[in-house]
């Protein structure tokens, strides 16, 4: 998963959720701020955030309700 910040300002993701669904059924939902190390995550202007093989984010969905 990647997120691109198209703006000229910093994007703050701590209030955002990662939601993964399978055929329209939500399988996982977790706020970035609930995952250790991602409490104040930001994306610089015109930059990417890439979650690829990031177990902290994907494992959080199984332990946080």
Query: What is the pTM for the complete model shown?
Result: 0.68
pLDDT band at 50 (very low <50, low <70, confident <90, very high): confident
Range of the domain at 11: 2-63
Distance (Å, rounded) from C-alpha 27 to C-alpha 61? 8
For residues 24 and 16, which has the higher predicted lDDT (pLDDT)? 16
Contact 5, 45 (CB under 8 A): yes
pLDDT of residue 65: 47
- Extract the tokens encoding 61: 């969905």
Pick from 40, 29, 36: which is nearest to 56 by CA? 36
Pick from 18, 9, 20, 3: which is nearest to 44 by CA? 9
- On average, the pLDDT of the chain sits at 82
Residue 33 carries which DSSP code? G
Helix (H) or strand (E) holding 4: strand 2-4
Domain count within the chain: 1
């Amino acid at each position: 998963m990647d997120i691109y910040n198209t703006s000229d300002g910093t994007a703050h993701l701590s209030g955002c959720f990662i939601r993964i669904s399978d055929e329209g059924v939500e399988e996982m939902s977790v706020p970035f701020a609930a995952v250790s190390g991602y409490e104040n995550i930001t994306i610089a202007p015109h930059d990417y955030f890439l979650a690829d093989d990031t177990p902290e984010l994907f494992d959080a969905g199984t332990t946080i309700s």
